[in-house]
Structure 1
Amino acid sequence: MNIKKLGFTILLSVGAAATFAQSAFVWKQATSGGYTYKYVTGDPTHSRFYTLKNGLTVILSPTPKAPRIQSFIAVKAGSKTDPANHTGLAHYLEHMMFKGTDKYGSLDWAKEKPLLDKIDALYEQYNSTTDTAKRKAIYVEIDQVSGQAAKFAIANEYDKMMSSMGGQGTNAFTSFEQTVYTDDIPSSAVDKYLALQAERFRKPILRLFHTELEAVYEEKNRGLDNDGEKVFEATFAALFPNNNYGKQTTIGTIEHLKNPSLNHIRNYYYTYYVPNNMGVIMSGDFNPDVMVKKIDEKFGYMKAKVVPPYTFAPEKPIAAPIRRDVYGPNPENLTIAYRFPGGNTRDARLLDLLSSMLTNGKAGLFDLDLIKKQKLLSARGESNTLKDYCDLELTGFPIKGQSLDDVKDLMLAEIEKLKKGEFADDLIQSIATNTKKNKIQQNEGYYARASNLMNDFTTGIDWKNDVASVSELTTITKPQMVAFANKYLGTGNYVIVYKHQGEDKNIIKVDKPHITAVEVNREAASPFLKMVNDIPANSVKPVWLDYDKDIQKAKLGPVDLLSVQNKDNSIFRLYYRYNMGSWNNKLFALAAQYLQYLGTDKMSADDISKEFYKLASSFSVSTTAEITTVSISGLQENFGKTVSLYENLIANCKPDEAALAGLKQRLKKSRENAKLNKGAIMQGLVSYAMYGEKNPYNNVLTDTELDAVKADDLVAILHGLADFNHTVLYYGPLTAAQAAVTLKPLHNIPASFKPYPPVMVFTKLTQDKPKVLFANYDMVQAEIDWIRNSDTFADSQTPTVELFNNYFGSGMSAIVFQTIRESKALAYSTYAFYAPPAKKDDRYIIQAYVGTQADKLNEAIKSMNELLTDLPQSEKVLVSAKDNIRKSLETERITQDGILFDYLAAKRRGINYDTRKNTFEAIDKLGYPDIKTFHEKEFKDKAYTYCIVASDKRVSDDDLKKYGELTKLDLKTIFGY
């Protein structure tokens, strides 16, 4: 058979079928409130697409579930449009968009401007100078003039305004073709928000540049320690040699980071930050007629401008595999990537389906053949959707004894099965059913709605095709996908990246320049800030949970059933919650993992996975230290079949020694890999600091214990799970009484319950002297955690703790971030908080963190220790913190099964009420003396344990010993195996 001919004719028929399928989804036009907009018929998000007179795109998706709005302000420009000689520029600009304008962020613009102009000129001089000594002299002058200019700057004034209006999630991100600014705001604060955003995009001022540039250096160094990022960059460089997807990285080269140009950044802004290249995307509680008018009034001043198109030479076909090798401390893995057409094409949509046929978590070829059969430690196939091209990436991690070439052969064998049609006839229909469920779930949340709309806008994808995706899937046949796979997945037209475990000898660290700490002027406020704060905001009445009213209750024999009714859609979520976990039996977690590989006498493990996927349902069993939870979810129409499928499996699963042998082998490899993960190592250090050498983190099976486990042992645990008392939680369309009646014949409950196994007790230490726990790791940066156990939980402290955390260490406007990052440029990420425990008889934890360059370790520790010793006073930060808490609580709505879990969390802490109400009522009565007293009692002059993960080649023992008694922990002590 001629494959090319088949591909041509079949794809034509796919297009014809799609046209028919999408006939119910068409673009329409309407006018309301004086504005014309477009919409897609049958769109469940009811999104409106406006184009204002100046070309600004406004996309509004209203839904009144909570009095908040998720907003994205997106610019269709990113690293792809960076100048080739100034890569990283779009990302620089993203950072600088938080620094203010000539109206805010400045104490005295007339005095600040000449200094900023001088800094501009110095950077241009620095940029064009190659002599090392002259460059150092210029940078000394940049540092000196920047210090003078900073005296007129108000750091973080943007964040203060956002915090005061109750904003959350304030951030931004840059990718290949988008720079996006994101905020979650109370709907009552929209006038304040739009006034601030309109000013923000009017004329950004590039102040406090050299300290922010150092934060970007830190971000670059973090990337050098991220093997996954290096693999991604190597993949794209080989896959897209003619396109900036591969020629440039978002964060830029080290050479360009060292030679920034404020003039180029400013030119980039005026070229791409124009209304016809931007979009305001919102989802939440608002009237779209009112909202579009407000946006038009605020952003109407912007003038349209011709945006230079991005052009590139088309990529040449890949004739033979292109190999790249990447080295680093993380576990070895393999990536294979195929190139596909751009995101707004029919083939890009088929690519999404193809990736789901490989990996969907239950019934994909990789899921069944590589994971279920335990041939690899992990494997996935996923698509990246971009404007010019898309790609399919296959990633696999080997089990012990496998080579990366073994991984390659196994993954490519699955690709061949796809090309030959060796997959279930009903797989595509199952994917369509699951996509339908996933779409329903996505539309439940404001963020997901707005994010989907934003991504389609920046990538140039027609929203109609997104809306029609489920309907479109139902028209696609197996022969069509076989043809599609053969068209793009050739025998050698891919990029292959071998990620080896080992030293990366090509790393060039971004060196630390000398930076004198600058003023942050916490107490200062611009007239613009006062104007924004004075804009009236509609009052919002807070809504507190009343557990007795908001939770329906019923009985399943002796078992309590707690329920919240889903009145929005057909999704159900069911939980069986047991008050026992790995502290009761270390085998519980292993048994929970083992279950997914087991079948019954009538169904194989593969059959069970396929059946769950056909039903658009899923289940999982998870075990934490003290709680085991069975989670079952799906469409209510399939409730009975879904629950019966799980109940039959848990009651009748059969021992499988071969599956257990495979699981042990993979688990051992996972454990080896954990020892190569700096985050996992830090978790172990923190647990050691909190509990001592025997702690929850290393409370795991030893290798000897693991080897001794028998299949019968684990199956006995699974069969016996129903013998223990538990609570049933139900969120779905039924009432509690209806759910109890429906569930009773499905859920096995014994006449009497067994007592829970005895629980192992871990007691938190009292830190009586400073200590340092150190773990060596090959990395550029140093990660530092401060740990101290404090008092036993008391809910009466909650308002003070909330205010203290908001003021001191959580968020970009808090004292810690302003001091360590904004003033001293010592870290990209830093925070500190007083964390409440999960249960009433447990203790609070003090935790502080700085991720910094290794050569800044002493400066970073000194700076954090100063803050832990003396709490700076700032009335402006305090007012902002109180406003943020009050307005966030006013507009927060705990809904769906979140109500059930909030109730259970309160119950564990000995509380039978919504504690948020107490915080809301107390917050205005608290002041600086309250948090100062709290800080002196809990933080000042206390002994901390420093947990440090760094390279012993970059950090000396003498430095570490300055801070306390030094203990260097080996990996076996940290992990317990």
Structure 2
Amino acid sequence: MAAAHIRGLECPPRPAASVHHPSRSTSRKHATVRLTTRSDSTADGSGANRSANDNQGGNIRNHTRRGLLQLATAGSLYAWAGRNAQAADAQVTAAAAAAVAAGGGGSELLQRQLDDRLSQFTLPNGLRFIMYERKAAPIVSFHIYADVGAYDEVDGQTGLAHLLEHMAFKGTPRIGTTDYRAEAPLLDALDEAFYSQLEAGSPKEYARLQKDLEALSQQAAALSVPNAYGALLNAEGGVGLNAATSQDATKFYVSLPANKAELWFALESERFQAPVFRDLYTEKTVVLEERRLRVDNSALGPFSEQFALRSFSNNYRRPVIGFADDIARLGRREVQAFFQQHYGPQNLTIAVAGDVQPATIRRLAEKYFGGWQQPDGNQAAAAAGCLGLAGLEEALAVPAVSRDQWHYSAQSKAGPGVMQAYYRPCINSPDSVPLDLASGMLSGSRSSRLYRNLVLPGKALAASAYASLPADKHPSTFVCYGVPAKESSIKKLHADLSAEVAALAGEGPTADELRRYKKSAKVELLDALSNNSAIASALSSYQVLTGDCRNVLTDLRRIELLTGAEVREAAARHLRPDNCFKGTVLPL
């Protein structure tokens, strides 16, 4: 790895033990897509800031293009710069939005902008870079999309991807420690005590090893520097350092002044090539408490977890945060092995948007990442919708039980409620965009069918539709959820929801519904291309999930050309009564 000139850092010799050094051995496909699929996020810098964005804790997020585009635009970084900049690209985006508002498409204007501003390259090790020049302000946003998530875990080791997110910015042998020579043996001793405790033959031995763990943790903590990684970036104007984990991906992002790009390259190359997973056993207690709050003690959490376990045959059945027993058994060996297996250069896509010079980005990429080889055992991620690297199309995630068992009922603090999950293909399917529009026509506004026909007349207190839960790289489900009004019943609401879905599948949208939703969806897509961070997020996600970052505009054109018949036919194919797993949330 090239030497990193980072202010305030010295580079002590690295002991051979306890540091994860990837071995030096050398060593996707078409779709239509959502922009982000977050389930948890971790901020680092001035402290940890975690937010639940998945459906494990009862907060069901709309995993459609619309819902995820809203996520992309909600956290616009450096808003002051956007307000003060009068750049040509902003004018083009505004012109495209005006064209949409006037009833036009807008994609032609954006296509010209994309052609002028977009460039890409891939290093020999497989690490891909996407650059989008946007001179609105001297700011640049970096997004790393790691094509690995909770879906890639094996049974018995759930929660690894999420735990690695918590460990994302813990540092390296040079960052995050006052004395790595003294710290490294303590980290090794912690591992030995932890794995010995797993094999403890008696309560007395377990208690003794617990005391050893606590003492070693205190000694190691005395040598660590919390939030050192974030502090380095913050000191140079960094904003929004964060990480997010989902079923499908792990993402890391930050925005910096454009003249600090080399700092980012120096820090990230070291973080990926020589991470030190310090504070792991302390952080596990944080994760277990997070699980208790978000799943075990939340109103809908236990029901949602059990519903997923019963309704999915693929790995979407497991929670991103993991099962408590699995988390308790995870140690640094498992974390390092999972990182080495999945976080190599061939599984990373880096998008850089803002005041960038492509030649400079390429020079820095070669300098800091060019020597990084695939770690031993690193596995290339399969393309979206494919079973492994053979390219075999994945089957729907229907459970291996007879259809008369496609129902789950349980008492919950969130009851009463009903859930209907229709099995659908992944984002690669031609039906993906029509199903997104179908979910928008069913819910999402006061003019939507579920609100107009169920909530307003008092048949339901709430009713929503979600095009793809819990994610969409693999076959998932189109979900309807409702809470019956006091005057109604669970059985009646199940019937009412089914009737609304059947009406859409039988008749399709009206011309007015289709026009309104297409306009709304296009405006949200345009909004997502209005700031650096959202652009970087969109381009990296589209690249990984569809095989071409330019498909962000393919989606826009697809929406423009979509017909009511296509929506009706997609709904008829997938939103069928015999393709639905039902859930009933009973009151306590």
Note closer, same or farther for the CA distance 1:93–1:128 as it changes in structure 2 (3 Å cut).
Answer: farther
Q: Secondary structure at the match of 1:193?
A: helix
Aligned to 2:308: 236
1:445-524 paired onto structure 2 within 5 Å: 445-460=531-546, 462-502=548-588
Note closer, same or farther for the CA distance 1:463–1:229 as it changes in structure 2 (3 Å cut).
Answer: farther
Q: Is the 8 A contact 1:343 1:390 kept in 2?
A: no
Question: What is the CA–CA distance in structure 1 between the aligned matches of 2:405 and 2:452, rounded to whole Å?
Answer: 26
The code of the aligned residue for 1:369 comes to N
Q: Is the 8 A contact 2:170 2:278 kept in 1?
A: yes
Note closer, same or farther for the CA distance 1:130–1:314 as it changes in structure 2 (3 Å cut).
Answer: farther
1:748-759 paired onto structure 2 within 5 Å: none
Note closer, same or farther for the CA distance 1:454–1:68 as it changes in structure 2 (3 Å cut).
Answer: same
Question: What is the CA–CA distance in structure 1 between the aligned matches of 2:261 and 2:174, rounded to whole Å?
Answer: 20
1:216 is aligned to 2:287: yes
Aligned to 1:299: 369
1:342 is aligned to 2:414: no
Q: Is the 8 A contact 2:118 2:133 kept in 1?
A: yes
The code of the aligned residue for 1:379 comes to A
Aligned to 1:119: 190
Question: What is the CA–CA distance in structure 1 between the aligned matches of 2:562 and 2:519, rounded to whole Å?
Answer: 13
Q: Secondary structure at the match of 1:498?
A: strand
The code of the aligned residue for 2:299 comes to D
Give a deviation string over 1:315-337, Cα, whole Å, max 9, x none.
56563572223444345332211
Question: What is the CA–CA distance in structure 2 between the aligned matches of 1:43 and 1:497, rounded to whole Å?
Answer: 47
1:88 is aligned to 2:162: no
The code of the aligned residue for 2:325 comes to E
Note closer, same or farther for the CA distance 1:367–1:425 as it changes in structure 2 (3 Å cut).
Answer: same
Q: Secondary structure at the match of 2:374?
A: coil
Q: Secondary structure at the match of 1:173?
A: strand
Question: What is the CA–CA distance in structure 2 between the aligned matches of 1:460 and 1:478, rounded to whole Å?
Answer: 24
Aligned to 1:61: 132
CA positional deviation for 1:121: 1.6
Aligned to 1:268: 338
Q: Secondary structure at the match of 1:492?
A: helix
Question: What is the CA–CA distance in structure 1 between the aligned matches of 2:142 and 2:380, rounded to whole Å?
Answer: 27
CA positional deviation for 1:54: 1.3
Question: What is the CA–CA distance in structure 1 between the aligned matches of 2:410 and 2:131, rounded to whole Å?
Answer: 43
Note closer, same or farther for the CA distance 1:226–1:118 as it changes in structure 2 (3 Å cut).
Answer: same
1:346-495 paired onto structure 2 within 5 Å: 346-384=430-468, 385-421=471-507, 423-460=509-546, 462-495=548-581
Count of aligned pairs between the two proteins: 462
The code of the aligned residue for 1:359 comes to S
Unaligned 5+ residue runs, structure 1?
1-14, 16-39, 503-977
Question: What is the CA–CA distance in structure 1 between the aligned matches of 2:537 and 2:272, rounded to whole Å?
Answer: 21
Q: Secondary structure at the match of 1:70?
A: strand
Note closer, same or farther for the CA distance 1:198–1:225 as it changes in structure 2 (3 Å cut).
Answer: same
Aligned to 1:798: none
Note closer, same or farther for the CA distance 1:265–1:62 as it changes in structure 2 (3 Å cut).
Answer: same
The code of the aligned residue for 1:365 comes to R
Q: Is the 8 A contact 2:410 2:584 kept in 1?
A: yes
Give a deviation string over 1:382-401, Cα, whole Å, max 9, x none.
21241111321111122223
Q: CA RMSD in A?
A: 2.6
Question: What is the CA–CA distance in structure 1 between the aligned matches of 2:228 and 2:444, rounded to whole Å?
Answer: 44
Aligned to 1:173: 244
Question: What is the CA–CA distance in structure 2 between the aligned matches of 1:205 and 1:123, rounded to whole Å?
Answer: 17
CA positional deviation for 1:449: 2.0
Note closer, same or farther for the CA distance 1:253–1:50 as it changes in structure 2 (3 Å cut).
Answer: same
Question: What is the CA–CA distance in structure 1 between the aligned matches of 2:149 and 2:139, rounded to whole Å?
Answer: 28
Q: Secondary structure at the match of 1:74?
A: strand
Q: Is the 8 A contact 1:348 1:390 kept in 2?
A: no
Note closer, same or farther for the CA distance 1:183–1:320 as it changes in structure 2 (3 Å cut).
Answer: farther
Note closer, same or farther for the CA distance 1:422–1:265 as it changes in structure 2 (3 Å cut).
Answer: closer
The code of the aligned residue for 1:202 comes to Q
CA positional deviation for 1:374: 4.3
Question: What is the CA–CA distance in structure 1 between the aligned matches of 2:355 and 2:479, rounded to whole Å?
Answer: 38
Q: Is the 8 A contact 2:300 2:412 kept in 1?
A: no
Question: What is the CA–CA distance in structure 2 between the aligned matches of 1:130 and 1:493, rounded to whole Å?
Answer: 49
1:284 is aligned to 2:368: no
Q: Is the 8 A contact 2:170 2:276 kept in 1?
A: yes
Note closer, same or farther for the CA distance 1:317–1:89 as it changes in structure 2 (3 Å cut).
Answer: closer
**Aligned mate of 1:135, from 201, 206, 209:** 206
CA positional deviation for 1:460: 4.4
Give a deviation string over 1:860-899, Cα, whole Å, max 9, x none.
xxxxxxxxxxxxxxxxxxxxxxxxxxxxxxxxxxxxxxxx
Question: What is the CA–CA distance in structure 2 between the aligned matches of 1:130 and 1:74, rounded to whole Å?
Answer: 43
Q: Is the 8 A contact 1:234 1:497 kept in 2?
A: no
The code of the aligned residue for 2:525 comes to K
Q: Secondary structure at the match of 1:497?
A: strand
The code of the aligned residue for 1:351 comes to L
Q: Secondary structure at the match of 1:105?
A: coil
Question: What is the CA–CA distance in structure 2 between the aligned matches of 1:444 and 1:260, rounded to whole Å?
Answer: 41
CA positional deviation for 1:101: 0.9
Percent identity between the two aligned chains: 23
**Aligned mate of 1:226, from 294, 298, 316:** 298
Note closer, same or farther for the CA distance 1:409–1:118 as it changes in structure 2 (3 Å cut).
Answer: same
Q: Is the 8 A contact 2:410 2:585 kept in 1?
A: yes
Aligned to 1:741: none
Give a deviation string over 1:336-395, Cα, whole Å, max 9, x none.
111111112212222212212222415432243224444322212121241111321111
Q: Is the 8 A contact 2:417 2:490 kept in 1?
A: yes
Q: Is the 8 A contact 1:49 1:60 kept in 2?
A: yes
The code of the aligned residue for 1:258 comes to A
Per the normalisation by structure 1, the TM-score is 0.45
Question: What is the CA–CA distance in structure 1 between the aligned matches of 2:201 and 2:474, rounded to whole Å?
Answer: 37
CA positional deviation for 1:229: 3.9
Q: Is the 8 A contact 2:459 2:487 kept in 1?
A: no
Which deviates more, 402-411 or 60-69? 60-69
Question: What is the CA–CA distance in structure 2 between the aligned matches of 1:308 and 1:287, rounded to whole Å?
Answer: 30
The code of the aligned residue for 1:105 comes to G
Question: What is the CA–CA distance in structure 2 between the aligned matches of 1:240 and 1:260, rounded to whole Å?
Answer: 25
1:325 is aligned to 2:396: no
The code of the aligned residue for 1:381 comes to A
1:184 is aligned to 2:255: yes
The code of the aligned residue for 1:301 comes to G
Note closer, same or farther for the CA distance 1:418–1:200 as it changes in structure 2 (3 Å cut).
Answer: same
Give a deviation string over 1:821-879, Cα, whole Å, max 9, x none.
xxxxxxxxxxxxxxxxxxxxxxxxxxxxxxxxxxxxxxxxxxxxxxxxxxxxxxxxxxx
Question: What is the CA–CA distance in structure 1 between the aligned matches of 2:257 and 2:217, rounded to whole Å?
Answer: 36
Q: Secondary structure at the match of 1:201?
A: helix
Q: Secondary structure at the match of 2:275?
A: coil
Q: Is the 8 A contact 2:542 2:551 kept in 1?
A: no
Question: What is the CA–CA distance in structure 2 between the aligned matches of 1:193 and 1:217, rounded to whole Å?
Answer: 31
1:192-207 paired onto structure 2 within 5 Å: 192-207=263-278
Larger relative contact order (CA 8 Å, sep ≥ 6): 2
Aligned to 1:146: 217
Note closer, same or farther for the CA distance 1:495–1:139 as it changes in structure 2 (3 Å cut).
Answer: same
Note closer, same or farther for the CA distance 1:162–1:309 as it changes in structure 2 (3 Å cut).
Answer: closer
1:821-860 paired onto structure 2 within 5 Å: none
Give a deviation string over 1:160-216, Cα, whole Å, max 9, x none.
112212222222121112111122322232222221111111211121222212111
Note closer, same or farther for the CA distance 1:402–1:206 as it changes in structure 2 (3 Å cut).
Answer: same
Q: Is the 8 A contact 1:456 1:463 kept in 2?
A: yes
CA positional deviation for 1:268: 1.0
1:797-816 paired onto structure 2 within 5 Å: none
Q: Is the 8 A contact 1:344 1:462 kept in 2?
A: no
Question: What is the CA–CA distance in structure 1 between the aligned matches of 2:516 and 2:124, rounded to whole Å?
Answer: 45
Question: What is the CA–CA distance in structure 2 between the aligned matches of 1:279 and 1:228, rounded to whole Å?
Answer: 35
CA positional deviation for 1:147: 1.8
Q: Secondary structure at the match of 1:377?
A: strand
